[in-house]
Chains A and B, each alone.
Chain A
């Protein structure tokens, strides 16, 4: 056993630990491969079960299928894996923001299983966000195994995400971009290389197991100058649709949270409603890739009115699935709603201007998808590269950039937080590295407090205190009760000058007569931000920290500034 340990240590420390970049590249590739395998496994199992269930969809009782799936999914999450419902991307961002990307091992498989149950039964959701959660957890746990530091762990979380996205869509650039743009939020050289390699590893795994090259095939599109104005209008439309979609998800989900029904019964209600809609409009069921393909290839048969109805139906079905106990992501619903929006827009334009020389319906389906992805996630680059890669063509790149940028900007203007970040921002838990809030949250009061202050007795006579001042460098002296050591107040040098200048008073004044008892105090439980607010409010440069009635130390603004600079350098200079 000892020999094996020694060999492991020799390899680990002499090969990998010599160069952290090499270690990150190797570990990142591993994360990419593992998360790619997880993504492919989910995709293949979904395809086979959806195909197996397909003949049963025509029966009248088929509306219970999504309910059964959502029920099993919620029971699995609540009773077996003991995790919350939903897609998990905010959880990953939260872990990256606050805890150096620490994620539980169970997250690497729990969302895969629950979303498989939800989506395969017909729930309106996508498998992409669950694989992001899974990939991130895989990366985080590889980092844990290798005992890496927070920065390296965050990079591996990004690697896992990139591997998962690139495997499920066979889109390595989209994986890289999504990982950095949405999850990590910082474009850094040290991050980009391992994440890019992980994205390639994920895509290679996907290609090796599923030979098809692109998710959606289509004929080449011809976009021209005449499409620019319609593209601008479509961008605005997708921005509004994105905001409506985001708000519906939150409203309907919030309504479910307020109800006193247990999760499993909410999942049944949500699933049944989705099933009922699905009987009349099958495109709301599952991930809906088949319908996206028909729209891109221009063979979508729904009329204008029904297409608009389908947009609202899909939004409602997704909100009922995800908000009422099902599990899955919003990527695939975004793609479907976006392509429906694009098709509806094209049909309207064609209805109003039959002779307008614009690109085909399929091209507008693509543009709609980009607009919605960019609007909902407020991640324009992800929107552009994802659509380019899953359709395998660069011919629409210019209108894609246009629609994506305008949609992201407009939706940001209407709703400043993206769907993934809204809850975190509202709770004050969203902190990107290098930001003020993040730096302050990373500094603990324990490292800021200076404890080497001389405590003085409240019954001390001023003459004795003068002797203490002579030997001390400090300007503050906490006053305590003799027997109990309880903090009574503080003496500041600047406020006792008048006594110091009158030697006649030295034996007449006791410290409890001149101490300041009104000074605000902080507690070890307080956040640094609260302490700073308190200091600003009371115009203080130093504040005493008192815990359980005992003086612990002082916090000084100069000390905070020193540590702030150190932390800022650590978070940004890597």
Chain B
């Protein structure tokens, strides 16, 4: 398939780790990484109902003269043909419009705040808005490059969780890696979650590709997070609420992302995932 992942290149050692993660992800699922080397510290992404201005921290503009060569060297190391993205349209002369016509986007937890770029900081407001409006899943990479040998889908039975499951299955099919499902039983029993899968006609696929479906009682959330293999790609759904809404309503996604060091593939509410 011709799936494409957009990677915003940061010409720093940390940026290299993130890019290695993108390359690994693409090689594993047979997608193509497309690199955008920013020339200004901001860009716009126009989604169907929002225009998100991403203000990059200054490290994204480090040593522009070596950025392309560094990216090409990493491409070569991974055995992938280099592909670069150049914006065609500009809202203002220093404000390029970056296309949203991609299948995946890779970004760290925060793109605008230098202080939290290394370590498990909170997800920044821009990344949240991208998650909220994007029609593609967002790969939030681990702070350092780490390969993964399996896929863990967090399945809570919601609409987004079904999308996550679909994406998990898709990645399992493309990569041939084992898929595990993790469910925290909140209100209903195990049967409820199995019924959700059944209603979506995904039972046979789940039987075929899911190695094990793990169920945990509501209080065992921390146990569940600990038991998720550290070397697996976690696929989960999220609503992309803003910080205030998240403080008021709470967020499982925020707890997960600030607790585990795995790579996360986040499916937002506007994502469209198809198994084709």
Contacts and interface: CB of A to CB of B under 8 A. Distances in A.
B223 interface: no
B2 A84 contact: no
B244 to A, nearest CB: 14
A103 interface: yes
Nearest to B31: A548
B53 A82 contact: yes
A95 interface: yes
- Interface centre among A99, A106, A550, by most chain B C-beta atoms within 10 angstroms, is A99
A104 B51 contact: yes
B211 interface: no
Given A98-B89, A444-B101, A106 B50 contact: no
A548 B32 CA distance: 8
B92 A83 contact: yes
Contacts of A257: 93
Q: Which residue among A1, A84, A86, A95 has the maximum number of chain B CB atoms within 10 Å of its CB?
A: A84
A6 B41 CA distance: 42
Interface in A520-574: 524, 527, 547-548, 550, 552
Given A91-B91, A91-B92, A257-B93, A82 B42 contact: yes
B93 A104 contact: no
B66 interface: no
Interface footprint category on A: 20 to 34
Nearest to B2: A547
Contact of B49 (A84, A106, A147): A147
Given A429-B89, A446-B101, A552-B2, A84 B94 contact: yes
B226 interface: no
Nearest to A524: B2
A99 B99 CA distance: 12
A94 B83 CA distance: 28
Contacts of B46: 99, 102
A144 interface: yes
Of A91, A102, A144, A427, which is in contact with the most chain B CB atoms at under 10 Å from its CB?
A: A102
Given A84-B95, A91-B91, A446-B101, A548 B53 contact: no
A144 B42 contact: no
Interface residues of B, number: 23
A90 to B, nearest CB: 9
Contacts of A524: 2
A94 B97 CA distance: 12
B192 interface: no
Nearest to B112: A82
A553 to B, nearest CB: 10
B158 to A, nearest CB: 15
A82 B55 contact: yes
Interface string A92-129: 00110011001110100000000000000000000000
Contacts of A98: 89
B53 A104 contact: yes
Contacts of A99: 46, 51
Contacts of B53: 82, 104, 106
Nearest to B80: A548
Nearest to B42: A82
A102 B101 CA distance: 17
A44 B41 CA distance: 35
Contacts of B41: 82
A430 B44 CA distance: 18
Given A91-B92, A446-B101, A102 B50 contact: yes
Given A446-B101, A552-B2, A84 B89 contact: no
A98 B97 CA distance: 11
Interface in B59-91: 81, 83, 88-91
A86 B91 CA distance: 12
A446 B272 CA distance: 14
A550 B2 CA distance: 8
Interface in B1-23: 2
Contacts of B81: 548
B114 to A, nearest CB: 15
Contacts of A83: 92, 95
B51 A84 contact: no
A246 B41 CA distance: 30
B101 A84 contact: no
Contacts of A84: 92-95
A144 B50 contact: yes
Contacts of B50: 102, 144
Contacts of A1: 249
Interface string B239-266: 0000000000100000000000000000
Contacts of A144: 49-50
Contacts of A446: 101
Contacts of B92: 83-84, 86, 91
A105 B208 CA distance: 47
Which of B55, B83, B93, B249 has the most chain A CB within a 10 Å cutoff?
A: B93
Contacts of B2: 524, 547-548, 550, 552
B70 to A, nearest CB: 22
A147 B44 CA distance: 20
Contacts of A106: 53
Contacts of B89: 98, 427, 429
Contacts of B91: 91, 94-95
A556 B162 CA distance: 36
Nearest to B46: A99
B271 to A, nearest CB: 16
A547 B32 CA distance: 10
B6 to A, nearest CB: 12
A296 B121 CA distance: 62
A86 B94 CA distance: 12
Nearest to B94: A84
Interface string B96-134: 000001000000000000000000000000000000000
Nearest to B41: A82
Contacts of B42: 82
Interface in B29-60: 32, 41-42, 44, 46, 49-51, 53, 55
Contact of A103 (B32, B51, B55, B93): B51
A98 B83 CA distance: 26
Contacts of B51: 95, 99, 102-104
Contacts of A550: 2
Interface string A141-164: 000100100000000000000000
Contacts of B32: 548
Nearest to B85: A525
B132 to A, nearest CB: 12
A23 to B, nearest CB: 16
Nearest to A257: B93
Contacts of B90: 427
Contacts of B94: 84
Contacts of A527: 88
A147 to B, nearest CB: 6
B195 to A, nearest CB: 23
B49 to A, nearest CB: 6
B58 to A, nearest CB: 12
Contacts of A94: 91
Given A94-B91, A99-B46, A102-B49, 15 more contacts: A1-B249, A82-B41, A82-B55, A83-B95, A84-B92, A95-B91, A102-B50, A103-B51, A104-B51, A444-B101, A524-B2, A548-B2, A548-B32, A548-B81, A552-B2
15 contacts: A1-B249, A82-B55, A84-B95, A91-B92, A95-B91, A98-B89, A99-B46, A104-B51, A106-B53, A144-B50, A257-B93, A427-B89, A446-B101, A547-B2, A548-B2
Q: Which 3 A-B pairs have the closest CB atoms?
A: A84-B92, A102-B51, A99-B46
